[in-house]
Amino acid sequence: MLAIRIVFVGLFALAGLLLARGPLAWPDWVGLLIGLVGGGAIVYGEFQLEGRSGREILAGVLGLILGLVVALLVGLITRSIHALAPYQAYVMVSLSLVLGYLGAVVGIRKRGDIRFSSKRPERIGVPPKILDTSVIIDGRIAEICESRFIEGQIVVPKFVLDELQAIADSSDPLRRNRGRRGLEILRRMQLRKDLEVVIDDHEPEGGNDVDSKLVRFARERGGKILTNDFNLNKVAQLHGIQVLNVNELANALRPAVLPGEEMTVKISRRGKEPDQGVGYLDDGTMVVVEGASGLVNRTIRVAVTSVLQTAVGRMIFSRRK
C-alpha cells in the first residue's frame, strides 16, 4: 500500500511538471511542487478519512467546494489589479490551496451546526450521545448500541480519546490492557455501518480535568453523556446535563426477585456476620445467605427474605432451605 501511495504522488509530480512545460508555461519547479503538494494532500486526505463518518466527509466536501468558489471570486477581483497581472497564476493556485483547505477544515469542525435532510424523520432532533472514557473501557456500550437501543450520533470527544490513548500507553500492565480494550471497543463500533461514531476535535475552554470538559462539551453540543461513572453522573445532573448510566440500565434489566422465591446459588465465601455465606448470581448480584458460612464452594437452595437496592447495585438476602 505504501508503494502505491509513493507511485501516486510521483505521478502527480510528473503531471504537474508536464503541465508547467506545456499549456501553463510555468517554471519546472513550480509545476513539480504543485504536483507533489497535490498528490501528498490526496494521500494525507485518505489517511484522515479512515474512521470518519459520512456526515464528516460530506461536510468537508461542501466546505472544500465553498472555499474553492470563494478563491475563484477573489481571483477574479485580483485580475483588475495590474501589479498582480504577471503573477495571476500563482495567486490563483495559492488562493485555491489555502481557501480550499480552510473550507474543508471548517466544514468538518462545524458539521454539528449543519442539518442534513433525513429519510427517517424520527431521528431529527435526536441529541448526540457523548461517550466518556469509563464507558468505552467497560465495553457494554458496544452491545447496547448494536442492539439499537441507542439512536442518534455517537460522539467521542478528542480529549476523551487522548485520555484513552494515555491509558493504553501506561507502564502499568493493568491500565495498559484496559486502555487497549477501550480502543478495540471503539474501533469495533466505528466499523459497524449502522452506527455513526464521530471523533469531535472541539475542546471546551476552561477546566483541566476530563469530567469538567465533558460536562461543558455536552452543554455546548446539546448532547447526553453515556457513562458508568457514579461521580460524573451526579456532577452532570447538577449542571442540568442528561446522563445515560449503563450501570443503572443493567440494574433495571435484572430479573425481579420477590421475598419467598427460591433459587439456587453457589456459596463462594463467608459473609461479614459469623453465620453468613455469600454467593453471586450470573448477572453479578450478591446473595447473602443466613446459615451458610460453613458451605463455601457448595451449591444450595435458598429462599429470598428481602431485596436491597443500593447506589452500586442490588443485594439479595436469603436463608438456607
Long-range CB pairs of 275-278, under 8 A, 24+ apart, other chains included = none
Give the pLDDT score at 299: 92
Verdict on whether the full-model pTM lies above 0.95? no
Sort strands 262-270 and 276-280 into parallel, antiparallel or unpaired.
antiparallel
SS3 312: coil
Give the pLDDT score at 35: 72
Range among 105-109, 115-119, 223-227 with highest mean pLDDT value = 223-227
| CA contacts within 13 A on the Cβ side of 86 | 1
Contacts of residue 146, Cβ cutoff 8 Å, sequence gap at least 6: 192, 195
Please, which pLDDT band fits residue 66 given cuts at 50, 70 and 90? confident
Distance of alpha carbon 293 from alpha carbon 300, whole angstroms: 12
Tell whether the torsion through CA atoms of 253, 256, 257 and 262 is positive or negative. negative
Give the pLDDT score at 122: 40
Name which of 197, 320, 304 is nearest 261 in CA terms.
304
* Mean model confidence pLDDT for the chain: 80
Which tens digits make up the pLDDT trace of 283-317? 778 899 998 888 889 999 999 999 887 766 678 99
Domains and CATH numbers, the chain: 2-113 (no CATH), 121-252 (3.40.50.1010), 254-320 (2.40.50.140)
Please, which pLDDT band fits residue 118 given cuts at 50, 70 and 90? very low
